[in-house]
Each structure stands twice: as C-alpha cells, then as structure tokens.
C-alpha cells in the first residue's frame, strides 16, 4: 500500500518541476509579449519593496508599491 503513496508523491514533485522550469527559465525570450510583463518584479522607488509589475504603480517611469510611496 505504501508504494502507491511514494509513487504519487514522486509524480507530484515531478509535475511541479516540469511545470515550473519552463516558466522560470524561458519566460521572456523576447520583449514582444506583453502578457509576460506581469511576472517581472520591480523595486519600489521609495521603500525598496519588490512588487510584481502588474501591481506596481508607475509615475514618471518609476515604480511604487503603494499610493503612499508615490506621494512622498
């Protein structure tokens, strides 16, 4: 009965690695794909917090994590 669990676990880990590797290694071969921009991390100009690009607030070409940081 235990080997079923082991095989299931290995399959799960295997699945995770296969799914994650192509994403992290080949996510941006070119800059043409705008859909991938949300995966990029940028640092807040004010406090240095890292946020994903699609959550970041942009002002004068600089990135901010929150309206508070943008004001200051």
Q: 6 forms bridges with which residues in the sheet?
A: none
> Binding string to Zn ion for residues 2 to 41, with x set by CB under 5 A, is what?
----------------------------------------
| Nearest-approach distance from CB 69 to Zn ion, in angstroms | 3
Q: Which is nearer to Zn ion, 36 or 53 (CB)?
A: 53
Please compute, for residue 14, the number of CA atoms within 13 A of its CA located in the half-sphere on the CB side: 6
Residue 41: phi and psi, rounded to 5, are -105, 135
Number of chain positions touching Zn ion (CB under 5 A): 6
Quick check: 70 binds Zn ion (CB under 5 A)? no
Task: Supply 57's token pair.
Answer: 């607030």
Q: Which residue in 47, 50, 52, 59 binds Zn ion (CB under 5 A)?
A: 47
| Helix H or strand E segment including 20 | helix 2-25
Instruction: Using DSSP bridges, classify how beta strands 50-52 and 57-59 pair: parallel, antiparallel or unpaired.
Output: unpaired
**Chain contacts with Zn ion (rule: CB under 5 A):** 44, 46-47, 49, 65, 69
């Amino acid at each position: 009965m235990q080997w079923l669990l082991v095989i299931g676990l290995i399959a799960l880990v295997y699945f995770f690695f296969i799914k994650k590797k192509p994403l992290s290694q080949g996510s941006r071969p070119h800059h043409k794909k705008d859909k991938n921009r949300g995966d990029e991390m940028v640092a807040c100009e004010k406090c240095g917090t890292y946020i994903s690009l699609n959550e970041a607030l942009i002002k004068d070409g600089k990135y901010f994590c929150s309206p508070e940081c943008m004001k200051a």
